[in-house]
Amino acid sequence: MQSANQSKMLALVNQKPADKKVRDYCKENEISEAVYFYWRNKIIKKHSSPSASSFIPIQVTNSSGSALACIQLPGGAVINVFSPEIFSFIHALQ
């Protein structure tokens, strides 16, 4: 359970506009840059740490002209698989 201060800081970090400089944003919100970066790094660590299970299920469909599978990675990248040979390649990597 998060404290009110933790919730406030996480919200501040998440709400910073991408086009605004950290220095200006921190001045506007009356926090130090060190505090901002501390909480930003906490968020990054939380989202980049491996989960208990690293298996991500994928849906495989077979219809002509479309991908056999579309794999969306946690960062948002999408891998479209059009050839069944890739599955044996991926399996060999394990």
Q: What residue ranges do the domains of the chain occupy? A: 4-48, 52-94
Q: How confident is the model at residue 90 (pLDDT cuts 50, 70, 90)?
A: low
pLDDT number for residue 58:
59
* 34, 28 contact by CB (below 8 A): no
Alpha-carbon distances of 36 from 1, 44, 47, rounded to whole Å: 21, 12, 17
pLDDT number for residue 50:
57
pLDDT tens, 37-79? 999 988 888 776 555 455 666 565 555 567 777 777 777 777 7
Amino acid in position 66: S
Enter the tokens of residue 2: 């998060």
Question: Can you give the length of the chain in residues?
Answer: 94
pLDDT number for residue 51:
53
Amino acid in position 34: A
Mean pLDDT within 10-25: 90
Distance CA 82, CA 64 (A): 10
Q: How confident is the model at residue 81 (pLDDT cuts 50, 70, 90)?
A: confident
